[in-house]
Amino acid sequence: MATSINPFPSLGNSVTLSPLHDAHGRNVRYLRLSVTDRCNLHCLYCRSVEQRDFIPHENILRYEEMARVVRIVHGMGVRKVRLTGGEPFARKGCDDFLAMLHKRHDDLDLRLTTNATLLEPHIPLLRRVGVSVVNISLDSFDRATFARVTGHDLLPAVLAAVDGLLKAGLRVKINAVALRGVNDGQLDDFVHAARTLPVDVRFIEFMPMGSGTRWDERHFWPADQIRAGAERLVRLLPDDDGGDTSGPARMFRIVGGKGRLGFISPLSNHFCATCNRLRLTSDGNVRTCLFADKEYALRGMLRTPGLDDSHIARTISRACRLKPVGAELLAARQGAAVAAKHMVGIGG
């Protein structure tokens, strides 16, 4: 049902908006906002084997433009915003942007996904602005494997950042892309981390994303096999987060341990029925499904003088209504990449 609110102070009058929802009955309350496609790593699942150029600087949204989109979707019911990249801290001014969002929307559940190689100096700021959760992409606790996956020998910086976050009292989730033949022999290390540290360690199935992807069935390590392997090491009990802003992982508490293990299975056991998110790419496109290349351009609208927020709100609302079911796109893939863009251009 439409709700009469005034989420746009710049308009000076009441605007009637409906909460964001799609034709499949899913409510959208979560925005993943990519602040940059720049990254100081070259992870094998994020980019193609080919060299690629970054998005031209003039095509990247300015922080104020991103904040305007956040203001609009906040007025339409979005309550959780995650900054992603690329690597967010590869872009100058990310600290100030976080502080801006917190000041303007102190009720937002503000989160961050990072590779943590540049993170440690920013930890006091994250605590000060109330970032609730920091997701760290960490595919191996073995230094040589980390370098093989990311292209850089920076594991010590990541581990130092994890330690600093925990000392600061921030909640930490470690995301590991499950790669058979790469990190499948290191399950003990991941389980040990979740058992001894108050962190969530979550395995994400390797997805066939982007033209030129390195995805291959030989590298696919399904979530159920990972869970079975973990249960040979520790006893797991289901521990669902609950709530309409909870993530796609199936979470399990480790009996006698400090942390949890989670399994995200977009290929083997999809979670499309409960998907509540949309994405804003760093170059200003709304993307309603990770696997769908259909995007809705906002950059030109944001830079058109005199075009008020209600026009942008209508575009976002229409995009959400047309949000597809990703599992159906996967089923039609027939061995090809499920999307043309690479993860670094979409936002992790």
pLDDT of residue 242: 56
pLDDT of residue 12: 34
Residue pLDDT, tens place only, 161-218: 999 999 999 999 999 999 999 999 999 999 999 999 999 999 999 887 766 666 777 8
- Residue 60 has, within 13 A of its CA and on its CB side, a CA count of 20
pLDDT of residue 3: 34
Write out the CATH class of domain 26-346. alpha beta
Pairing relationship of beta strands 296-297 and 285-287 according to DSSP bridges: antiparallel
pLDDT of residue 347: 79
Residues of the chain with pLDDT under 70: 1-17, 47-52, 210-214, 241-246, 334-336
Answer for the pair 287, 226: CB distance below 8 angstroms, yes or no. no
Tell me the domain boundaries of the chain.
Answer: 26-346
Q: How many CB atoms lie within 10 A of CB 299?
A: 16
278 bridge partner residues:
31
pLDDT of residue 146: 97
pLDDT of residue 199: 98
pLDDT of residue 219: 85
Q: What is the DSSP letter of 179?
A: B
Give the Å distances, CA to CA, from 170 to 102, 159, 200, 295.
16, 15, 12, 34
